[in-house]
A and B are shown apart, each in its own frame.
Chain A
Amino acid sequence: GQQVMQIPQYQHVQEGEDFTTYCNSSTTLSNIQWYKQRPGGHPVFLIQLVKSGEVKKQKRLTFQFGEAKKNSSLHITATQTTDVGTYFCAGSPLNDYKLSFGAGTTVTVRA
């Protein structure tokens, strides 16, 4: 079955620094979604990418969907304490509705 893998599992970042988290799928995806879950909270949708090579930005967050539609990345610039949480990618294979979630990247920020 489809597997979605994320690296790194943990990211400890100095406030103000940049970091990137990566998402890889074993199969081609129709779309990739990113969610953020704050400690003790529930996943909240951030963005969806559909097109090959697509890049979308939300303020300090940049999301990219690979050309082969099998990988994605989230890059955060100038990390702030509000960025703390776990970031999940989730993808649907072609001709399927089911979202498979990665294990997430848990981000902590040193002030």
Chain B
Amino acid sequence: NAGVMQNPRHLVRRRGQEARLRCSPMKGHSHVYWYRQLPEEGLKFMVYLQKENIIDESGMPKERFSAEFPKEGPSILRIQQVVRGDSAAYFCASSPFPGEGEQYFGPGTRLTVT
């Protein structure tokens, strides 16, 4: 049973470009969470999605950021017109149930904006 998969593992973008981060949850998991981690800091919740639904996006910046979890395919975190401050590690986690039990984290995508 493959774990949570994220790609790419490393992504370099110039200011103003778009970044697309992909997350495939564990098999059987329908709950996906995105977190951002700045160097030397903890994990900041961004968004919680179930299949085809955004449940909670309270941690996501109102502009330039969007997320989706389509019926088929991976969850996508999209950052438009990236700025240097977007440089961070973005982790996706999945769980079989909301709010209970462990969240299984993917290896993360390290985004660098030059």
Chain A interface residues (CB < 8 Å from chain B) = 6, 30-31, 33, 35, 41-45, 48, 88, 90, 92, 96-104, 106
Contact = CB atoms under 8 A, between A and B. Distances in A.
B28 interface: no
Nearest to B35: A101
Nearest to B48: A98
Give the interface SS of chain A, mostly helix, strand, loop or mixed.
strand
B45 A100 contact: yes
A99 B45 contact: yes
Given A42-B106, A42-B107, A98 B99 contact: yes
Q: Which 4 interchain pairs have the tightest Cβ spacing? A: A97-B99, A45-B102, A103-B42, A97-B98
B42 A98 contact: no
B96 to A, nearest CB: 13
B45 A98 contact: yes
Given A88-B43, A102-B42, A44 B105 contact: yes
B102 A48 contact: yes
Given A44-B105, A97-B48, A97-B100, 8 more contacts: A33-B102, A41-B107, A42-B91, A90-B43, A97-B99, A98-B56, A103-B41, A103-B42
B99 A96 contact: yes
Contact of A45 (B91, B99, B104, B106): B104
